[in-house]
């Protein structure tokens, strides 16, 4: 399971010209899922993201977590995070989990995030053509892969 997390001042997701998610201070999480991902990957990744100290404290030092600042979150499914660009110029997405595997894991990820943060997590729509807007704060963008825990 791979996530790109972006610290944002604001972010939104629009589908068919309708805003389906909208946050202020917090994180936009782009989530890629592979067939081998498990509940263990979900738990590890959610805890890592929720507790990652990437928000500024009073001294303007990145020393606070999403939980510390009571920040908001949008989670967007993004199978292209697992693109392989080894051969040719057209990326291959063969590593990305098919919807029958990915959708339940995606929903479990969101549910676990709500449990850990105690907040409602906003989302895009799995498989939809989404327009994602954000104001990256910093900018701070971090890639976390649950397969690289050690």
Catalytic residues: 80
* Nearest residue to 28 via CA among 150, 146, 140, 117: 140
With 0-12 / 13-18 / 19 or more C-beta atoms within 10 angstroms meaning exposed / middle / buried, residue 102 is: buried
The gap from C-alpha 25 to its chain's centroid, in whole angstroms, comes to 15
CA dist 22 → 39, 122, 147 (Å): 27, 8, 30
- Token pair for residue 73? 């979150």
Residue listed under structure tokens 């104001």: 135
Angle at 115 between CA 109 and CA 117, to 5 degrees: 100
Residue listed under structure tokens 């202020």: 24
């Amino acid at each position: 399971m791979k996530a790109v997390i972006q610290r944002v001042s604001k972010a939104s997701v629009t589908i068919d010209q309708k805003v389906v998610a909208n946050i202020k201070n917090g994180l936009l999480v782009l989530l890629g899922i592979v067939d081998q991902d498990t509940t263990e990957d979900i738990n590890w990744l959610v805890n890592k993201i929720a507790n990652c100290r990437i928000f500024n404290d009073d001294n303007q030092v990145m020393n606070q977590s999403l939980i510390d600042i009571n920040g908001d979150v949008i989670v967007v499914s993004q199978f292209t995070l697992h693109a392989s660009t080894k051969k040719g110029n057209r990326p291959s997405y063969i590593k990305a989990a098919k919807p029958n595997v990915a959708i339940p894991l995606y929903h479990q990820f969101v549910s676990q995030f709500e449990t850990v943060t105690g907040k409602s997590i906003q989302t895009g729509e799995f498989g939809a053509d989404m327009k994602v807007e954000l104001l990256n704060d910093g900018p701070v963008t971090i890639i976390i892969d649950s397969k690289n825990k050690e």
